[in-house]
Amino acid sequence: MALPTEFVDLEPYAGWALQTEPERYAKRLASTMPEMQEFYDAAFGRLEDAITYCDKFDFDDLPDDARSLVHLMQSLVMVSFPIEVWKQARVPDSGAAWVDLIKEPVV
C-alpha cells in the first residue's frame, strides 16, 4: 500500500500499514523493541501532519493512500505503550490473557 507523496519519508515503514488490529498486534509481537522504536521515532513526529492530511477527506470516502496512512498511524498507537510504558512488546503481567477485537474502527 502506497502512502501519500507528502509522507514519502515514512515509506520504509509501510509494512506497518496493516488493515486490521489482529495484523497490527501480530506485527508488534513479531517485532523487536529496536524495530518498534525506529518506527515510533519516525512516525510519531508525523502524527499531527497525518491527522491534518486525513482531515481533508470524508472519513467514509478516504483515498487508498490516505487510508494506508490511517492504518500506519493505528500501528503507531499499537506500539506506543510498548515503547513509552512497558519497554516490551507484550502487556506486562498479562499471562495467557488474550483479547480479540470483533469490529475494526476503520473499514
- Predicted local distance difference test score (pLDDT) of residue 95: 52
What is the rounded distance in angstroms from the CA atom of residue 106 to the CA atom of residue 60? 9
Weakest-pLDDT range from 63-67, 85-89, 103-107:
103-107
| pLDDT tens track for 2-13 | 999 999 999 999
Q: State whether residue 25 is helix, strand or coil.
A: helix
For the segment 97-107, the average pLDDT, to the nearest whole number, is 59
Residue 98 has pLDDT above 90, yes or no: no
In angstroms, the CA 24 to CA 92 distance is 18
Residue 98 CB: number of other CB atoms within 10 A? 7
pLDDT of residue 19: 94
Which residues have a Cβ under 8 Å from the Cβ of 39 and sit 6 or more positions away?
A: 13, 16, 31, 75, 76, 79
Enumerate the domain spans of the chain. 5-86
Rounded average pLDDT over 50-78 = 96
The C-alpha cell 491534518 sits at 52
